[in-house]
Amino acid sequence: MTKENIIAFSQAHAEPEWLQARRKAAFDKISELNLPLIQRVKLDRWNFGNHTVSDSVATPNVVDFTNLGDNPKLIQVGTTTVFEQLSPELVSKGVVFTDFYSALEEIPEVIEQYFGSALAFDEDKLTAYHTAYFNSAAVLYIPDNVEVDVPIQGLFYQNSDEAVEFNKHVLLVAGKHSKVSYLERFESLGNGSEKSTANIAVEVVALEGSQVKFSAIDRLGSNLTTFISRRGRLQKNATIDWNLGVMNEGNVIADFDSDLVGEGSHAELKAVAISSGKQIQGIDTRVTNYAPHSIGHILQHGVILEAGTLTFNGIGHIIRGAKGADAQQESRVLMLSDKARSDANPILLIDENDVTAGHAASIGQVDPEDMYYLMSRGIDKDTAERLVVRGFLGAVIGEIPVKEVRQEMIDVIESKLDKR
């Protein structure tokens, strides 16, 4: 795939000159940059893309339009948008939730200003690859002082029956003193016969005083090798409450980062993950306190079944000048098999005095005392173990704002336990 092919794709979609230049610059960087460093995970032999950029060939009919509910939502299958729903009230307030190219027509200045502001294209080989080759995107924009009191949903489906790369970009911009609850879902459809790759970037830009509640469920299929990066950039007194469920079937590298660049900004990240079969998942979670009195907390819980591998890297970095900052992290892994492999690596980098920081990490099996307590009250062993697992992961599941999605995550956990 040459640079000319990327330019041809960009021109075919009438992309602005600044974006075409960004793609070309990213393409030039791919060969120069290294893969991201994920502690305890060797990426050298992983296939992260075949250097193609194209639209989806076919869009299967996957949407039941009779049972979608009234809340705002955007549904994309591959590179195609199949459904949009936004109330007239939100439209009148200036809220935009649409595909990337429609957003370029509606709010071009916003896109140009914030696209790539939370995730630099030259950070590593995979971010450069994403910027050069992303083939579809979505944009959610909440204007200043607008509060959205219903959850907004983005549903992004990958068609596993075609080999087109799933290179998706999502940009969420929360204006000053705005408030929004957003639920995101990535899921594979089809029989999974075509091996392919996914390179997903999600940018959340939280402007001064904004409040973002961000929930996600990832359920990409076993046919995919996936790199997914979710990045937050928080200005003064902004907050992002991340609640992430990593429930994929294939090999996954995930990078969840929050940059606290504004004084008093606050990021809470809660993630649950399940690895099964021979699946490998490496999850890097980082909070960087650049500003005084900023707060960054990480809570990660994972469960490993069969011969799965799960690595949690929790990184808290307090930059010089961030006086009064707070960086806390906890990573815990529950192994339900003797063949499971896991690492939980806490990393604290402190470059300033007068701060608060701490970490905790543990890897172990189900507590025999918990099992004894439950079984002594007439609960069989299998049910008792399920209850322990659900309680272990409940810190994140209980934070998801949509009841049906909370139940869906529980159902996914149950289905994975059933396969043992």
Residues paired with residue 271 on neighbouring β-strands, in sequence order: 244, 300
What is the per-residue pLDDT for 119?
96
Q: Hey, CA dihedral for 49, 55, 58, 59, is it positive or negative?
A: positive
Instruction: Give the residue, 290 or 414, on which the prediction is more confident.
Output: 290
pLDDT tens by residue, 58-114: 666 666 766 778 899 999 999 999 999 999 999 999 999 999 999 999 999 999 999
Name the nearest CA neighbour of 70 among 157, 151, 140: 151
Q: Which of 105-114, 129-138, 248-257, 397-406 has the lowest mean pLDDT?
A: 397-406
Instruction: Indicate the residue type of 100.
Output: F
406 has pLDDT over 90: no
d(CA 404, CA 151): 12
40 has pLDDT over 70: yes
Residue reference for tokens 């979608």? 68
| pTM for the whole structure | 0.95
What is the per-residue pLDDT for 413?
83
d(CA 139, CA 160): 24
Q: Which of 16-20, 348-352, 361-365 has the lowest mean pLDDT?
A: 361-365
121 has pLDDT over 60: yes
The fraction of the chain above a pLDDT of 90, given in percent, is 72
Instruction: Give the residue, 240 or 403, on which the prediction is more confident.
Output: 240
Give the pLDDT mean for 196-212: 97
pLDDT tens by residue, 279-329: 999 999 999 999 999 999 999 999 998 899 999 999 999 999 999 999 999
Backbone angles phi, psi at 115, to 5 degrees: -65, 120
Instruction: Quote the mean pLDDT of the chain.
Output: 92
What is the per-residue pLDDT for 337?
86
Contacts (Cβ under 8 Å, ≥6 apart) of 169? 100, 130, 134, 136, 137, 138, 200, 201, 202, 203
What is the per-residue pLDDT for 372?
84
Q: Which of 41-50, 214-223, 276-285 has the lowest mean pLDDT?
A: 41-50
What is the per-residue pLDDT for 162?
84
Number of residues assigned to the chain: 420
193 has pLDDT over 80: no
What is the per-residue pLDDT for 123?
95
> At 230, is the pLDDT very low, low, confident or very high (cuts 50, 70, 90)?
very high
Residue reference for tokens 């971010």? 127
What is the per-residue pLDDT for 384?
85
